[in-house]
């Protein structure tokens, strides 16, 4: 763990509970509420942070330990958002969906 773990973990838990409570409250109006929880996304912002000391090594090790051995692309997250907003997911609500190339299972 690292400094800031309490704040980070607490905020993640709060978002999960917010999503669930919102789903319960809005279900009567046939409105679904889901959260998307991505890992590090391969974006310009991520690439710009590579100049910080140790960042390249940290990210290389992070991506190496993902079971799928790949980086999360913005399109992956967009596709999930599209699915969750479509009728194909009409029975899904109150979920906190991790999209992380499997890093959450190791």
Q: How far, in Å, CA of 48 to CA of 30, rounded?
A: 41
Token match 């100049």: residue?
51
The tokens 């910080």 sit on which residue? 52
82 is catalytic: no
**Choice among 2, 3, 5, 8 that is catalytic:** 8
The residues that are catalytic are 8
């Amino acid at each position: 763990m690292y400094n800031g773990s309490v704040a980070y973990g607490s905020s993640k838990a709060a978002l999960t509970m917010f999503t669930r409570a919102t789903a319960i409250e809005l279900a009567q109006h046939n409105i679904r509420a889901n959260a998307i929880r991505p890992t590090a996304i391969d974006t310009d912002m991520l690439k710009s942070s590579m100049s910080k000391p140790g960042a390249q090594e940290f990210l290389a090790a992070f991506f190496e330990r993902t079971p799928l051995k790949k980086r999360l692309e913005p399109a992956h997250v967009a596709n999930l958002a599209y699915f969750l907003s479509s009728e194909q997911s009409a029975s899904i609500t109150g979920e906190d969906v991790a999209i992380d190339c499997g890093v959450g299972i190791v």
